[in-house]
Amino acid sequence: MALTLYHGEPNGPSLTALTVLFEKGVDADLRRIDLAAGERHDLPFARDMEVAMSIEGEGPVLVADGTPMTDASYIAIFLDELKPEPKLRPDSAIGHWEVLRWARAIAEVLAPAASTLGLRAYLAPKLSGRPQSEIDAIIAKVDSVDLADRWRAVARNDYPEAMVADSHRKLALFVERIEKALDGKDYLFGDFSTTDIEAYSWLAGMPLLSPAAFGDRPRTNAWMERVKARPSVQKALALATVDDPAQSWAPGPEHSRWG
Amino acid sequence: MKTTLYHWEPNANSGKPMLTLVEKGVDFESHYLDLLNFDQHKPEYLAINPMGTIPAMTHGDLVLTESSAIMEYVDEAFPGPKLMPDDPVDRWKVRWWMKFMDQWLAPSFSMIGWSVFVGPSVRQRDPKELEAAIDRIPLPERRVAWRKAIYNTFSEEEMKESVRRVTLGIQKLEETLSKHTYLVGDSYTLADINAFNLAYALPLSQPDLSNDEKTPHIMEWLRKVYERPATKKTWQMGKTDMAARVKILERGNG
């Protein structure tokens, strides 16, 4: 199967997709795009529904024999199903359920929180120096109305205090969940999995932005070091074209609107 | 191993694992919780699922939550017809659709449903009793949701956004179903089960957006899913008029 991965700097969902590829030893043509400049919307399939309306927002796109796929947690599962060894998920129906349950928590709790804090700290100040016409040109390319709104929010640095506080709260909740899961284990399910990769990828830049969430969380902090030290993660991080890829963010998923 | 499903009406999140279990032919015990009577926040149920969300399933000693994840578990753990494709790209597609519905389209349908149905259904009860019921809800997000529904404090802006998403979602479903029989190709999958739970009452709830003239492919797909014996059996498990709405899909009705 011919695979091409369009990815941003190795952080968040792009770091997940790259790391899973390297862990699995799957060959793919790697093409870096600047997600924070809206380059994803220049791709020929940018208006396909599965790309334009991806819940993840500005994440990587894996093209498999012409089908563009989005949402890094499902790209990870796809790669694990495509090439069964080395296994990156527990090998049972209940293990697969665990992976999906964590993926939901990552998508609803961790990802919007990390994305909000990352965008506010790094992309918003960067965009504030750019001419409005440049920002308008990016937004004009974005097909999804709600994703375009998230671009407008970052361009105006419009992150209400309540949203920031909610992001810190969600992050702390998620780290607490990791701390509990790691009781007596090196990785979340014992053996290393796509869930470790995905959680780490969103969390990599967070100790700096939400330090309180990581205070008194020895197992989580040791796990972060353990995941980061893996050759696959190191190989992905080496693709960075900036000093600290954990500071690279593009508009991600929204906070849930209801319930 | 005994299987028990804790659920409300065959509708939205409750209906997803119900229909999946029935399609697979799993012999399960049905434990009905009345959402409008706050059964899901009572101690008996919190002992099973401390988050107080519906549905939940027990299989032997295992306790499972998250309706879409439960659907995949049921498909994998039990014999019966396969509801996930074999091809990894198609499996990705099923998951993409389920996430799109769970996190983008369903919350908008749900917000409208809670404002026009759930809120008014419980609003007239004793205010003190309602406040006490809200205080017993474990998740802060759910407390906010119930308060909004009961006191009808949805903002005009958020309702407008929900209507926009429902309108666009219906268009996207119609486009997709005009290309193949089911959401992911020509086989019936978990994506269809998920979407049917969201869309079965569309001709009644959104008659201007979804009808035989505007969305013929959605209508044909809804009728086809309704005609499956498992769908009929599942909707018969409903106890309210809500589930009875499914009869609009009888050919010749509406």
Per-residue pLDDT, B158: 95
pLDDT classification of B254: cutoffs 50, 70, 90: low
Give the pair of three-digit tokens for residue B88.
């990894």
Q: What is the mean pLDDT of chain B?
A: 96
Q: What is the mean pLDDT of residues A10-14?
A: 98
Q: What is the mean pLDDT of residues B225-236?
A: 98
ipTM of the modeled complex: 0.98
Q: Does B100 touch chain A (CB under 8 A)?
A: yes
Query: Is A49's CB within 8 Å of B172's CB?
Result: yes
For residue B164, the distance in angstroms to the closest alpha carbon of chain A comes to 10
Per-residue pLDDT, A258: 87
Q: Domain residues of chain B, as ranges?
A: 3-77, 88-249
Which chain A residue lies closest to B142 (C-alpha atoms)? A259
| Reported pTM | 0.97
Report whether pLDDT(B253) > 80: no
Q: What is the mean pLDDT of chain A?
A: 97
Report whether pLDDT(B104) > 80: yes
Structure-model confidence comparison of residues A115 and A129, the more confident one: A115
Structure confidence by residue, pLDDT tens digits, B26-79 = 999 999 999 999 999 999 999 999 999 999 999 999 999 999 999 999 999 999
Q: Does B112 touch chain A (CB under 8 A)?
A: no
Query: Is B164's CB within 8 Å of A145's CB?
Result: yes
At B139, which amino acid appears? L
Is domain A3-82 classified as CATH 3.40.30.10? Answer: yes
Which superfamily does CATH assign the domain made up of B3-77 to? Answer: Glutaredoxin (3.40.30.10)
Say if B3-77 and B88-249 have the same CATH topology.
Answer: no
Per-residue pLDDT, B141: 87
Q: What is the mean pLDDT of residues A153-164?
A: 97
Per-residue pLDDT, B252: 81
Q: Measured between beta carbons, which residues in chain A are less than 8 angstroms from residue B108?
A: 257-258
Dist CA A48 CA A54 (whole Å): 10
Query: Is A104's CB within 8 Å of B68's CB?
Result: yes
For chain B, percent of residues with pLDDT exceeding 70: 99
Per-residue pLDDT, B41: 95
Per-residue pLDDT, B154: 94
Per-residue pLDDT, B38: 93
Provide the CATH number for the domain formed by A93-229 in this structure. 1.20.1050.10
Distances (CA, A) of A26 to A22, A30, A60, B90: 7, 11, 16, 19
Q: What is the mean pLDDT of residues A241-245?
A: 98
Strand partners, B31: B6
Distances (CA, A) of B51 to A26, B24, B68, B119, B142: 39, 27, 17, 21, 10
Q: Domain residues of chain A, as ranges?
A: 3-82, 93-229
Name the architecture of domain B88-249: Up-down Bundle (1.20)
